[in-house]
Structure 1
Amino acid sequence: MKIMRPLSAVGIVASAALVLAACGSDPAATNSSSSNSAAAPAATGTADVACGGKSPLSAEGSSAQKNAIDIFTQQYSKKCSGQQVNYNPSGSGAGVKQFNANQIDFGGSDSPATGADLDAATKRCASPAWNIPMVVGPVAVAYKLSGVDKLTLTPSVIAKIFSGGVTKWNDPAIKAVKGNESANLPDKAIQVVSRADESGTTDNFQKYLGAAAKADWTKGAGKKFNGGVGNGAQGSNGVATAVKAADGAITYVEGAFAKDGLTPALIDSGSGGVELNSENVAKSLDSAKFLKDGTNDLALDLNGIYASNTPGAYPLLLTTYEIVCSKYANADVSKAVKAFLTVAATDGQQPLSAKGYVPIPQSLQTKVLAAVQAIS
């Protein structure tokens, strides 16, 4: 997956300290339940850190979180003078493989280590391996359509568009979605643009459709787009550029790219259209559940988020994890990993908004810090 880039026009600026809020968007575009609800508080503050241990730490994996890891490392160096982390953004698969081979101190992955990967990690650690969610990025269903600056789509309609079931912008299925009554939807072909390369964004998008629109998305998940329609483009910038060049086009892309001529659609999961903005993304995370509830393995149940119809919650997002040992054989490694992740979960969170990420809400921060402190 491409590294998420700064979110200028979608604006995570002052009023949205978590992530993107579309420039010039109409406040009424947000679901009324969202506007009347308190935003999930962002992770805030600093924490006491026991500095020291191994330096530099070695880590590898997800390229999607590379800019976030750079921020975490900067904050870590400020908090713990002289301490460093060397991170290689080689991709999630490589990160898991290298961690399990005991070649790095922690791994980064767009998806939690589960099944055989988690078993291998536990074997490497000689103790349970844990997935610690640290970086979150929303995914936009972004389009370009002259004369339509506000559009609401349901999971079902999104699934039909990306699998070829809906092919025209004035299709009755789109016109029937609440919020589109006054939209001037043209008799124009929908041009689907997908990722041509294997991508974690594609995997999360297809998992979302499988969870939120089971009856209409039977294509499965995976890093390769399975929809069978439209044209592909390389990377996040590639799909965004392709849509900008074709009126009537639509794609799925990290929120940081849904700007400068692209418009993120509102998503109606059953409680009204919800726009992609800071409060709404945080609200989805605030109600997050875990695959192993009650443990320090904090792999999120994203299917639960994807299929949720929580009023005001924007459900389409991806999470990257730091994969760690619950108990390291080397005490110096353990000490440094704990210090780095403590800083990442506190001082490192608020600066993330400038790079298009979503700082984790306080409710998740509390669980993350408890897990980090339990590492030995």
Structure 2
Amino acid sequence: DSGTTENFTNYLSQAAPDAWPHEAGGQWPITPRESAQGNSGIADTVQRAEGSIGYVEMSHVHGMSTANIGVGGEFVEISPEAAAQVVADSPRREDNASEHDLALDLEYGTTEAGSYPLVLVSYETVCEEYPDATEAENVKSFLRYVVSPEGQEAASAETGSTPVNDTLREQLLASIDAVGVRD
């Protein structure tokens, strides 16, 4: 099972339901001519095999050609800004557990100009209450760094990920501030 495969097949089923007849899932639904384990293995295989096509996280592209995706009458090149546009335009899931649950219902089928809809969002999951103040403050400190401009730039430099925008950062900080101590 692969989260990248599940995300990619979810994108295909939402963006091109008439052309992609398969259910979204973590297993590739068609027998591949060649396969590999993990993003690094797939990236290596695509680089070695002439004429091959594959899908990997952006952090594994390493100079390979990428696909521009047709969105709203234009073909959009992958970039942090184009990926961030989809995240910014996507609503929260309707079944989120609480007001502090910021899980998104990604708009894979967007027609918004300049959006690159094939994105995957990483989430941090923490408890809303901890048994003692030190533990709660350690969790909050870690998360504040992760969502800070410095933390986001460090992650982006390391992985090629897209930093969160200021609006989402404010929402994340409000959720982080809600972490407290169990009564």
- TM-score, with length taken from structure 2: 0.88
Deviation at 1:361, TM superposition (A): 1.3
Instruction: Give the Cα–Cα distance (whole angstroms) in 1 for the partners of residues 22 and 171 of structure 2.
Output: 34
User: What is the CA–CA distance in structure 2 between the aligned matches of 1:241 and 1:269, rounded to whole Å?
Assistant: 29
Note the alpha carbon deviations across 1:258-289, whole angstroms, 9 max, x for none: 233x2001000333100001221121122121
Corresponding position of 1:365: 169
What aligned pairs does 1:266-281 form with structure 2 within 5 A after superposition?
266-281=68-83
Across the aligned residues of Structure 1 and Structure 2, the Cα RMSD in angstroms comes to 1.8
Cα deviation code 1:105-160 (max 9, x no counterpart): xxxxxxxxxxxxxxxxxxxxxxxxxxxxxxxxxxxxxxxxxxxxxxxxxxxxxxxx
User: Would the aligned equivalents of 2:40 and 2:60 in 1 still touch at CA under 8 Å?
Assistant: yes
Partner of 1:253: 56
Determine the C-alpha separation between the residues in 1 that align with 2:133 and 2:25. 38
Asked if residue 285 in structure 1 is aligned to residue 121 in structure 2, the reply is: no
Deviation at 1:225, TM superposition (A): 1.2
| Larger of the two Rg values belongs to structure | 1
Secondary structure at 1:333's aligned position in 2?
helix
Measure the CA separation in 2 of the matches of 1:360 and 1:221.
26
Aligned-partner Cα distance in 2 for 1:240–1:340: 31
Residue aligned with 1:268, SS: strand
Q: 2:142, 2:59 → 1: CA distance?
A: 26
Three-state SS of the structure 2 residue aligned to 1:348 is helix
Whole-angstrom distance in 2 between the partners of 1:259 and 1:341: 29
Alpha-carbon distance between aligned partners in 1 of 2:15 and 2:125, rounded to the nearest angstrom: 27
The farther-off stretch of 291-300 and 237-246 is 291-300
Match of 2:113 in 1: 311
Q: Which has the higher helix share?
A: 2
CA contact (8 A) 1:328 1:334 kept: yes
Unaligned runs of 5+ in 2: none
Q: Which residue in 2 is equivalent to 1:69?
A: none
Specify the alignment match of 1:5 in structure 2: none
* Alignment pair present for 1:242 and 2:71: no
Deviation at 1:336, TM superposition (A): 1.5
For structure 1, the 5+ residue unaligned runs are 1-197
Whether the 8 Å CA contact 1:271–1:310 is kept in 2: the answer is: no
Give 1 or 2: higher strand fraction: 1
* Pairwise CA distance, 1:245: 2.0
Aligned partner of 1:330: which letter?
D
Q: Deviations over 1:291-316 (max 9, x none)?
A: 147821101112xx211111100111
Name the SS for the 1:205 alignment partner: helix
Number of residue-to-residue matches in the alignment: 176
Deviation of 1:223 after TM superposition, in Å, equals: 1.9
Could you state the TM-score of these two structures normalised by the residue count of structure 1? 0.44
Identity of aligned residues (%): 36
Question: Taking CA–CA contacts closer than 8 Å with sequence separation of 6 or more, which of the two structures ends up with the larger relative contact order?
Answer: 1
In structure 1, what residue type is equivalent to 2:123?
Answer: Y
Partner of 1:169: none
Q: 2:26 matched to 1:201?
A: no
C-alpha contact 2:81 2:162 (8 A) present in aligned 1? no
- Report what 2:34 is aligned to: 231
SS of equivalent residue, structure 1 residue 321:
coil
